Amino acid sequence: MNISIIDWAIIISFFVISMLIGVIASKTAGKNAKEFFLSGRNMPWWLLGVSMVATTFSADTPNLVTDIVRKNGVSGNWVWWAFLLTGMLTVFVYAKLWRRSEVTTDLEFYELRYGGKGAAFLRAFRALYLGVFFNVVIMATVSLAAIKIFGVMLGLSSWETLLIVSVVTVIYSSLGGLKGVLLTDFFQFFIAMGGAFGAAIYIVGLPEIGSLSNLLSHPNVSDKLNIIPDFSDWNLLIPLFIMPLAVQWWATWYPGAEPGGGGYIAQRMLSAKDEKNAIGATLLFNITHYAIRPWPWIIIALSSLIVFPQLSDMQEAFPNIESSKLGDDLAYSAMLTFLPTGLIGVVLASLIAAVMSTLSTHLNWGSSYVVNDFYARFIKPEASDKELVAVGRLSTVGLMVLAALLATVLSNALEAFNILLQIGAGTGLIFILRWFWWRINAYTEISAMIVSFIVAIYFESIHNKLGFWPIPDDMAYLKLLFGVTLTTITWVSVTLLTKPEDDKVLLSFYRKVRPASWGWKKLLAKYPDEKEEIGQLPMEIGLMLIGSVMVYAALFAVGFWIYGETVSAIIATIVSLAGGILVFKSWKKMR
């Protein structure tokens, strides 16, 4: 496709502004490690919330949504829409607890909640396991999306794409720290949203499609519009709807949707001014992420079924794309090649923004683990702030190099998504309960982490090679269910068979974080003078459920308005607004 001078001017301007933000933020980011990784714990809710949304507005996410829609229709998105329940639980139950903990990273939590060698091992191992291994896999999927998008739209090779995106992102991430990431995210978010909506509107008007009504009535599309799967088709209903809502959201660990909060979501809650700002940020994130943002991607994905109904159609249209990178997720970037001068520049800038906002967050988050939870804790505790910032900047570069190398061997985003879900299967309930059940200890988490990883490796690499019954794609949920069951049985058994943490450690955690005492009563009974924290847990869980209904109703309302189903759209809108009123009125009553 031809990129005009106007388009290149828009793209170059975007790069320049992103770099300038990093340079400006670097004036304060290098003061000390807490400033570099937490922005001085003084960030407002609106900036943190937008940053969370921008981070999850990754270039691989529209590719993932396109892959899902082309294979399983709109209702296939429940595999990630179900994580809203996790998100709303974080909003009303865990956001304030994280902020009270005052840790620098969520891994520092381990030595606040647990004690001894087990806690130290957990912190050190997960600093490398999550900060390096998991982080690199996630950044590699983002980089893979960039390779596919810019391979189709600009004709760039894998290494050309990786070099351009990586260098700019590493520069402003390493210079500006978290503050640079937050400010750049804020700028990039509006570019990304404008590009997504602009692209969807233009593509629906293409001659091949004609109009929104033509799109929705086309035979390639009409059977993929259901927002909820067909209840008569159990082959789709179980994996796409029942499993995500009944099991997946609470039982699995997935970056950005961790049960109980964690990762870069926790990092932003920890950098908030106070508990209210931590709660407001996560609420804004969940509303925008689930209710508003998916629909432009879905419209483009549905349009691709008309223009490129088969993979062979894309292969014919883009013969230069490597065969290993050809998949349904490529359809998103393929559709963007139809955009006109000016809009294509904005959309390319928006896609670059999506790539860079996610990479920059993961680079800062990952390097915070390497520096705070490994280097400063176990390698050189006496290191100066200047040295810690320098190590943070070096680890930022190293993580990007590893991610770029891995991106060249991955094939599609959905494959990576499923692998990460399987690795985290069965661990999610621990992250929910460890705040409220005194009996959970370091060995609970160690055993769950080991078993879930072994099960994932078995199903991904060993099961079929041993000649066992192959698990078909439409029954892949059995692997997840098996992993959740085995891992849960293991960690519950280990918890009950091993010693609890020392009372001194538990009481110190309880006094600092002040969780509701429901699961701490057995410990507190030994200390009659210890104040029981009554809390408002039932009310908070109620708000989580109401908030989830509110956001799901908003998601449905937007879809129904697009589909032209006016009555359903009005009902869903009213339900969403009523839920919003209840949430905000009840929120004011929370202590």
Among the residue ranges 330-344, 479-493, 569-583, the one predicted with the least confidence is 330-344
| Confidence band for 270, pLDDT divided at 50, 70 and 90 | confident
Contacts of 402 (CB under 8 A, 6+ apart): 132, 136
Predicted pLDDT at 50: 87
pLDDT digits (tens, 9 = 90+) for 535-563: 788 889 999 999 999 999 999 999 999 99
* pLDDT of 32 strictly over 60: no
Predicted pLDDT at 178: 64
Among the residue ranges 436-445, 500-509, 527-536, the one predicted with the least confidence is 527-536
Predicted pLDDT at 474: 62
CA 9/CA 348 separation, integer angstroms: 11
Report the share of the chain in percent with pLDDT over 90.
Answer: 33
pLDDT digits (tens, 9 = 90+) for 49-104: 888 887 777 666 788 899 999 999 999 999 899 999 999 999 999 998 998 998 88
User: In the predicted model, what is the mean pLDDT of residues 423-440?
Assistant: 91
Contacts of 427 (CB under 8 A, 6+ apart): 251, 252, 253, 445, 448, 449, 452, 487, 491
User: In the predicted model, what is the mean pLDDT of residues 460-473?
Assistant: 66
Crossing angle for the helix pair 135-153 and 60-72, to the nearest 10 degrees: 80
| Confidence band for 26, pLDDT divided at 50, 70 and 90 | low
Predicted pLDDT at 489: 95
pLDDT digits (tens, 9 = 90+) for 234-253: 877 888 888 889 988 898 87
* pLDDT of 430 strictly over 80: yes
Predicted pLDDT at 170: 75
* pLDDT of 29 strictly over 60: no
Can you point out the beta strands (E) in 76-203? none
Among the residue ranges 28-32, 87-91, 425-429, 438-442, the one predicted with the least confidence is 28-32
| Region of residue 565 (left: phi > 0; alpha: psi -120 to 50; beta: else) | beta
CA 317/CA 298 separation, integer angstroms: 22
pLDDT digits (tens, 9 = 90+) for 480-501: 888 899 999 999 999 999 999 9
- Does the CA dihedral 507-430-80-568 come out positive or negative? negative
Predicted pLDDT at 73: 93
Predicted pLDDT at 226: 92
Predicted pLDDT at 462: 72
Contacts of 549 (CB under 8 A, 6+ apart): 575, 579
Beta bridge partners of 43: 272
DSSP, res 257: S
User: In the predicted model, what is the mean pLDDT of residues 415-436?
Assistant: 81
208 CB-contact burial (10 Å; exposed 0-12 / middle 13-18 / buried 19+): exposed
* pLDDT of 321 strictly over 60: yes
Cα separations in angstroms, 4 against 15, 192, 290, 339, 523: 17, 20, 34, 12, 69
Structure tokens belonging to residue 215: 């799109």
Predicted pLDDT at 45: 87
CA 417/CA 524 separation, integer angstroms: 42
Smallest Cα–Cα separation from 393: which of 210, 567, 171, 586?
171
User: In the predicted model, what is the mean pLDDT of residues 145-162?
Assistant: 77
* pLDDT of 23 strictly over 80: no
Contacts of 590 (CB under 8 A, 6+ apart): 536, 539, 540, 543
pLDDT digits (tens, 9 = 90+) for 155-200: 777 778 888 777 777 776 666 566 677 777 787 788 888 888 899 9
Structure tokens belonging to residue 496: 């009950």
Predicted pLDDT at 97: 92
DSSP 5-38: HHHHHHHHHHHHHHHHHHHHHHHHHTS-HHHHHH
| Confidence band for 590, pLDDT divided at 50, 70 and 90 | low
Predicted pLDDT at 353: 74
CB atoms within 10 A of CB 243: 22
Predicted pLDDT at 33: 58
The mean of the pLDDT values for the chain is 84
